[in-house]
């Protein structure tokens, strides 16, 4: 591992507004590594422990589906922090990240980074992040996971999402307390109401869901097997 001078960090566009003292502290806590093109920085579903700073080069963030299709989520330029899932303890990485070209990265513990750059205890930041930013990040990840899925799997994924955000557990599974019409579901998954109705009827016949009016109760495990057949 190498170390880096704070003056190098000062030249990065996103860090130029921080004080020299702050950047000296960041530099002192960065574990710096040079990467070859396509070298993995972190893998999908591994535990997120560190935040990364791209010092030079380009990094690639991608989502690998259950059928091994790779969806490129973003290309990261020098000067940006990434791997922010580590802000939440014991979080798993939703995406994979590798070097799109030869790159230099720095790794730092999330609590140290926040306390240096924001000047507040990490615990105080964590409360704010989980209440304000994390729900938005979950929505972003949910949208990415739906890319490339056929309608049946997109609908299953959306029902899982609704159960996570509006569901209560009962004896039959998870009941979505929000009354969602077929028209609303069709809008959420980008399909016609008739197509959504056909798939819901199939889910009902196979006891993947049960319905009482507009209230839907789902079997989470069965829906997950539709989205991720290897689940």
Sign of the Cα pseudo-torsion (55, 142, 50, 116, in order)? positive
Alpha-carbon span 34 to 162, nearest angstrom: 42
* Structural tokens at position 186: 């069709």
pLDDT reported for residue 222: 94
Q: Identify the pLDDT of residue 83.
A: 96
What is the full per-residue pLDDT of the chain (231 aa) written as tens digits? 578 899 999 999 899 999 999 999 999 999 999 999 999 999 999 999 999 999 999 999 999 887 788 889 999 999 999 999 999 999 999 999 999 999 999 999 999 999 999 999 999 999 999 999 988 888 889 888 888 889 999 999 999 999 999 999 988 899 999 888 999 999 999 999 999 999 999 999 999 999 887 789 999 999 999 998 754
**Are 75 and 58 within 8 A, CB to CB?**
yes
Written as one string, the DSSP assignment of 72-83 is EEEEEPTT-EE-
Handedness of CA 173, 177, 181, 186 (dihedral sign): negative
pLDDT of residue 195: 96
What pLDDT, on the 0 to 100 scale, is given for residue 57?
96
Q: Note the pTM of the prediction, 2 decimals.
A: 0.81
User: For position 1, what pLDDT does the model report?
Assistant: 53
pLDDT for the residue 147? 85
Q: What is the largest CA-CA distance in the chain?
A: 65
pLDDT at position 230 is 58
Please check whether residue 185 is in contact with residue 126, taking contact to mean a CB–CB distance below 8 angstroms.
no
Look at residues 25, 4, 3 and name the one whose alpha carbon lies nearest to residue 114.
25
Helix residue spans in 66-121 (DSSP H): 110-117
């Amino acid at each position: 591992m190498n170390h880096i001078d704070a003056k190098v960090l000062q030249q990065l566009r996103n860090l130029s507004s921080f004080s020299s003292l702050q950047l000296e502290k960041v530099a002192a806590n960065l574990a710096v590594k040079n990467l070859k093109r396509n070298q993995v920085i972190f893998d999908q579903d591994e535990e997120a422990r560190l935040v990364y700073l791209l010092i030079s080069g380009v990094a690639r963030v991608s989502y690998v589906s259950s059928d091994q299709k790779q969806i490129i989520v973003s290309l990261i330029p020098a000067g940006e922090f990434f791997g922010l899932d580590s802000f939440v303890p014991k979080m798993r990485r939703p995406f994979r990240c590798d070097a799109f070209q030869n790159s230099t990265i720095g790794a730092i513990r999330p609590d140290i980074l926040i306390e240096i750059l924001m000047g507040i205890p990490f615990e105080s930041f964590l409360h704010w992040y989980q209440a304000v930013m994390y729900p938005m990040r979950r929505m972003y990840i949910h949208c990415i996971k739906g890319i490339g899925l056929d309608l049946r799997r997109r609908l299953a994924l959306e029902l899982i999402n609704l159960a996570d955000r509006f569901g209560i557990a009962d004896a039959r599974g998870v009941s979505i307390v929000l009354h969602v019409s077929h028209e609303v579901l069709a809008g959420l998954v980008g399909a016609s109401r008739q197509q959504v109705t056909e798939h819901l009827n199939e889910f009902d016949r196979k006891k993947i869901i049960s319905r009482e009016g507009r209230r839907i109760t789902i079997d989470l495990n069965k829906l997950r097997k539709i989205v991720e057949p290897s689940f």
